[in-house]
Every structure is written in structure tokens, then in C-alpha cells.
Amino acid sequence: MWDKAFDQAVRRIIKTGTLEVTMPDGQVNRYGDGTGTPVRVALRDRSLPKRIVQSPDLGVGEGYTDGDLVIENDDLHGFMDLAVRNTARRDFVWWQTAANHSRTALRRLAQWNPVGKAQSNVAHHYDLSGELYDLFLDIDKQYSCAYFTRPDMTLEEAQEAKKAHIAGKLLIEPGMRVLDIGCGWGGMALTLARDYGAHVLGVTLSQEQHKVAVQRAKEAGLQDRVEFRLVDYRNVTETFDRIVSVGMFEHVGAPHFREYFRHVHDKLKPEGIALIHTIGRGGPPGATSPWIANYIFPGGYIPALSEMMAAVEKENLASTDVEIWRLHYAETIRHWYDRFMSNIDRAREIYDERFCRMWRYYLIACEMTFRHAQQVVYQVQLAHDKAAVPLTRDYLYRDDTRDGAEDKVPDRARDRMAHAAE
């Protein structure tokens, strides 16, 4: 029964390219239009066809992680490229459509993130070994989308360009008070203090990130201009000239969107500017991949722009700019993957082979989703007063050169990049 259902589901989904699947009983099924290099997969566990039919994301992800779904030559890139290009059409059989609708309907329960639960969700991912992130991130430990103004940029250059672009949108002036919501390992806060003269409060729920950020501020001699707190942003009581949040809104959860923007509204001074940088879905509201929710980001959710802006409007904030980054994150993740694979032996020493398979699957699945599906990055600039920023975007690019992003990066940032390359 389940083998037949599996065959029906895959035949409905895989329309372009070529996929060959060896079933647990040895039968070989062929799918697609016969074009391209065939991707060959073997299912080694008898329960796997049923699990994939019931929940494709969960079944395939667990199958690969556990070694029950074996790809010829371990060509995970080829497999995920084929899968995501075809599933992006959203042509599912009826029971899969019903399951997607059910997950969407129940998402408010899955994404309920009050203060205590939010911290445990953050710990699941961000309190992993700090050395793990050193294996694939840039020298500033930026765990968010970089900004590739030239295709040949290094990861370090593209991350510096990202921070400079965000600082430009914030119109930072020396002495301003800035709140960094979800400050990670402190890179953005330290940059705004060191290169722009701001006084920054960075908040995080990750004990590991907080420890590293505090140490980095001490080593940089910036304790007088940067403070890092291990606290939920909802418990911050001060007001600020600027608010920045990079890669944190994905962890808020749909039930808390209005609450989030209410705090942005209340903590932002009347003449202030906020910049929210988040992964977003280009289509309508949906639900989080069950595999991602179970193994990578519990409580997380990628927002549609429509539901994000509905919350902004209800909290009486003016939208002064919305920018959409399309393929920048795909390029960022490819850099991360290449670095992770260069250091995979050390990753196995820190964790084990199963963890490395899970992490490879996570990185490649995300890259292909940004390349072939509707996943993008939104940068939303907000203010109380719609006249708080210039009338055009020219202020962001007046120092640009046709060749790339060098003039967008402050001199001290360029010096750091040059020093790191030596």
C-alpha cells in the first residue's frame, strides 16, 4: 500500500529532470522527463516510503540523516536541487495538501514562544559548541545573509558590506543609542560602536553567544560603548535612537508578530529609525518544515511579507523602505557549506557522523530553497515619522563605485579584512 502511495506522490511531484529510486524490496522506479544527469537514490528502511508519504520533509530529512536514504556518490546537492526545483511548483497529491493546510492551521500552537520557551528554543541551536560555528562562519561570526555587491567577493567582504548597508539605512551618528535585538556573537553591535561611534545594547537569549560577545567587547576595548545582556528583548525598558535586528525575527513566531513590533514601537524614540532584517517567504503565509522545526529551529517560522507588514501597520509604525534580497542568501550558504566541508573532520570530532549528515542536509536544503523556491530576505526600515529618512535611496549609494562595495565599507572594516587575509 505505502509503496504504491509513495510512487503516486513522487510521480506527481517530479516532472523535470530524472530521479531513480530503488525501493526497499529492490524494485527500481524512474521519475521525471528523462532530462539531465539521473539522480539515483536507494531506500534502505522498509518504513521509509510510508514516512515520506506522511511527511515528505520529515521523512526525507530523517532518512538522509540516519543513512536510510542513500544517494549515489552522496550527491546531496544534485538530489536537493532536483527535489526543490520540482516541489517549488507545489503540485502535491491531495493528502499532502491537506497535511500542509493542517500544519498552517496549527502553527500558532507550534510557534507559541513566551519568554521561557523562547530561551529553550534558542538554546537548541545557538548553544551548540562555539567551535562548530567557527568551522564555517566568517571571522566576525555573522550567522545571517551576506550582501554580495560583486560575485567574486569573499565571505568576509560580503558580510562587511551587509553591515555597512544596514548601518547606512540606520543613518547612524556618533553618540546614538542603539538596541540590537538578537545580537548573536556581537558582530553588528561591535561594528556600530567601533566604526560609527554608537553606544549599543545587544540582547540575546543564547548563553554561548552572550559569553563570546562579552569577551569580544572586552578584547576590543569597547566595554564603555557596548553592553551585552542575556535577556529577552521584551524585558528591555530603555528607549533608543535606533533599533536593529538581523536574523532574529525568524524566531519570533506568528502569534508574537504584533507583540514584537509593539516593543519596537515603544522602545524607539519619536525621531528614531529601526531596521529589521529577516528571511521571508515570497508567497502567502504557510508553515515551518517539520524537519527544520524538529531538528534545527524549534519554534521558528519564516514570515510572509503580508503578515509581517500587517503587524507593523497595527502597531502604528511607518514603513519607510522595504528591500528584497533574492539570491544573496544562497551564495552565503554555499560559502558556509564549502567551509564546513573543509573542516568536516573536526566537526565529526566535536559531534559525530550523524550530526554532520544532518548539518549538510540543513545547509544544502536551505541553499536550494533560496535558489529555486520563493524564499528571500526582507529588510524593512521603520520609523514613527515617515520623514525620518531621506526621500530617496540615494543616500545609501552616493559613495558607491561601479566596481563594487569597497566604498560602502568603512576604512577600519577594510583594514580588518586586509589584516585577516594576511
User: Which pLDDT value is given to residue 398?
Assistant: 76
Among 105-109, 254-258, 283-287, 303-307, where is mean pLDDT lowest?
Answer: 105-109
Looking at the domain assignment, is residue 110 inside a domain? no
Is there a contact between 264 and 308 (Cβ–Cβ < 8 Å)? no
User: Which pLDDT value is given to residue 371?
Assistant: 96
Q: Retrieve residue 351's grid coordinates.
A: 559531534
- Segment 236-244 shows an average pLDDT of 98
Looking at the domain assignment, is residue 224 inside a domain? yes
Is there a contact between 330 and 371 (Cβ–Cβ < 8 Å)? yes
- Segment 371-387 shows an average pLDDT of 96
Helix (H) or strand (E) holding 177: strand 177-181
Decide if pLDDT at 367 tops 50.
Answer: yes
Looking at the domain assignment, is residue 317 inside a domain? yes
Decide if pLDDT at 270 tops 50.
Answer: yes
* Euclidean distance between CA atoms 291 and 228, whole angstroms: 32
Residue ending a domain, among 84, 105, 126, is: 105
Residue 84 and residue 177 in one domain: no
Sorting pLDDT into bands at 50, 70 and 90, what band is 287? confident
Neighbours of 361 (CB within 10 A): 23
Higher pLDDT, 107 or 13: 13
Sorting pLDDT into bands at 50, 70 and 90, what band is 118? low
What's the domain range around 188?
115-421
For residue 375, give the nearest of 418, 409, 329, 417 by alpha carbon. 329
Residue 39 and residue 165 in one domain: no
Encode 55-80: b = buried (16+ Cβ within 10 Å), e = exposed. Answer: bbbbbbbbbbbeebbebeeeebbbbb
Higher pLDDT, 65 or 404: 65
Burial of residue 301 (number of CB atoms within 10 Å: 0-12, 13-18, 19+): buried
User: Which pLDDT value is given to residue 408?
Assistant: 46
Looking at the domain assignment, is residue 389 inside a domain? yes
* Residue 366 annotated as catalytic: yes
Residue 14 and residue 155 in one domain: no
Residue 174 and residue 281 in one domain: yes
Higher pLDDT, 308 or 130: 308
Residue 169 and residue 309 in one domain: yes
| pLDDT tens readout for residues 67-102 | 999 999 999 999 999 999 999 876 544 444 544 544
Residue 304 and residue 375 in one domain: yes
* Euclidean distance between CA atoms 60 and 51, whole angstroms: 8
Q: Which of 145, 183, 356, 366 is catalytic?
A: 366
Helix (H) or strand (E) holding 170: helix 155-170
Sorting pLDDT into bands at 50, 70 and 90, what band is 420? very low
- Segment 184-211 shows an average pLDDT of 97
Residue ending a domain, among 60, 82, 105, is: 105
Domain of 208: which CATH number? 3.40.50.150
Domain of 49: which CATH number? 3.30.1050
* Domain count for the chain: 2
Neighbours of 3 (CB within 10 A): 17
